[in-house]
Chains A and B, each alone.
Chain A
C-alpha cells in the first residue's frame, strides 16, 4: 500500500481532493492530516490543484511504504517502495 500524508490547512486541501479523484485512491484522516492511500502509484496533477509554487513543493508531510518519484511543475507521483 502506498500512503502519503498532507496537513489539513487551507492551502493543501486541493492536493487531497485531486489525489482522491485518482483510481483506487482513498483519503482518510489521522488527526489533522489527510492520509492518502492506494494499492499502487498515486499521481496528483499540479495544475488541477491550483497550488502556488511554495505550497506545492512543501505539501507532503509524510511517506509510509512510499517514495516520491516526481514532484515538479506538472505532477506529484508517489509510488510503492
Chain B
C-alpha cells in the first residue's frame, strides 16, 4: 500500500480532438448545458508545420473541464469502420473493447441523472442505455464525435470494506499477471490467500479506528 502523500485535486481537463465543432458545441453546451469556460485561438504552433486550431473547454462540474481541439483544414484519418474521431477500428474489434475507454461524469442524485436523461432524450443524441451496475447507476450515449459519454450516480456510499477489497484485488492481479497463465480463477485463488492473511487484521484495525473516532466526537454531537 502506498504511503506517499496524495496531493492531486481531480481532473484539470481531459482533451479530445473534434472534426465537428458545431455539433460538439450543440451537444455539450446547448443540450447538456455545460458552460464554455475557456478557449484558445492558436495560429499554428510555432515553427513546425501545424494547422491553426481552436482549443475549447466545457465545465463538467467541480471545476473540472472537458476540452476539444479543432484543427482547421484537417480531415479525419482512416483506420476502419468502427470507433470515434480519434480512433478508428477494424470491423472485427469487439465493441466491449472499443467502449472500454469512455468518460464518466458524476451527478449527486437520481433526480439529476434523470434530468440529464431528459435533456439527451430530447436531442439528436438520446440515451442508448441506462444500467444499474454493482453500486452505481449510469446513462450512456455517444457525442457527435463518437466518444462514449457516461453520466453516473452512486446508489449508496462506498463502504470501507470495499477499499480493502479493491486493494486485495489489485495485489492479486499484479501477482497473477506476473505469472505464466493469468485467469480469473488464478486471481480469485490468490485473492483468497490475501483475504486469509489480511482481512481479519484489517477489520480489527478498522473497528479500533472507528472506536477512536467515536470517542473523539463530543457527547453533544452524537446522535
Chain A residues proximal to chain B, CB less than 8 Å: 3-5, 7-11, 30-33, 52, 54-55, 58, 60-64, 67-68
Q: Are B202 and A32 interface neighbours, CB within 8 A? A: yes
In chain B, positions 122-150 with a C-beta closer than 8 Å to chain A are 131-135
Rounded to whole angstroms, the CA-CA distance of A54 and B138 in the bound complex is 12
Q: Are A62 and B189 interface neighbours, CB within 8 A? A: yes
Which residues on the B side are within 8 Å of A9 (C-beta)?
135, 159, 161-162
Q: Are A61 and B191 interface neighbours, CB within 8 A? A: yes
Which residues on the A side are within 8 Å of B200 (C-beta)?
30-31
- Kindly provide the distance from the CB of A44 to the nearest chain B CB, expressed in whole angstroms: 15
Rounded to whole angstroms, the CA-CA distance of A4 and B193 in the bound complex is 11
- Asked whether any CB of chain A lies closer than 8 Å to the CB of B203, the reply is yes
Which residues on the A side are within 8 Å of B203 (C-beta)?
31-32
Q: Are A31 and B199 interface neighbours, CB within 8 A? A: yes
Q: Are A31 and B195 interface neighbours, CB within 8 A? A: yes
Which residues on the A side are within 8 Å of B189 (C-beta)?
62-64
Chain B residues proximal to chain A, CB less than 8 Å: 131-135, 156, 159, 161-162, 164-165, 168, 184-185, 188-189, 191-196, 198-203, 206
Q: A7-B162, A32-B202 are in contact. Are A62 and B195 (CB under 8 A)?
A: yes
Q: A64-B189, A67-B185 are in contact. Are A31 and B164 (CB under 8 A)?
A: yes
Q: A54-B132, A64-B189 are in contact. Are A30 and B162 (CB under 8 A)?
A: no
- Of listed B165, B198, B206, residue having the most chain A CB within 10 A: B165
Contact of A30 among B135, B188, B195, B206 (CB under 8 A): B195
Rounded to whole angstroms, the CA-CA distance of A62 and B197 in the bound complex is 12
Rounded to whole angstroms, the CA-CA distance of A58 and B168 in the bound complex is 15
Q: Are B134 and A61 interface neighbours, CB within 8 A? A: no
A-B contact pairs, 9 of them (CB 8 A): A5-B195, A9-B159, A9-B161, A9-B162, A30-B196, A55-B134, A62-B188, A62-B194, A67-B185
Which residues on the B side are within 8 Å of A52 (C-beta)?
132
Rounded to whole angstroms, the CA-CA distance of A31 and B195 in the bound complex is 8
Which residues on the B side are within 8 Å of A4 (C-beta)?
188, 192
Q: Are A3 and B199 interface neighbours, CB within 8 A? A: no
Q: Are B202 and A64 interface neighbours, CB within 8 A? A: no
Contact of B134 among A30, A54, A63 (CB under 8 A): A54
Nearest 9 interchain pairs by C-beta? A31-B199, A62-B192, A32-B161, A31-B203, A63-B188, A64-B192, A54-B133, A62-B191, A31-B200
- Kindly provide the distance from the CB of A70 to the nearest chain B CB, expressed in whole angstroms: 13
Rounded to whole angstroms, the CA-CA distance of A55 and B132 in the bound complex is 9
Which residues on the B side are within 8 Å of A58 (C-beta)?
134
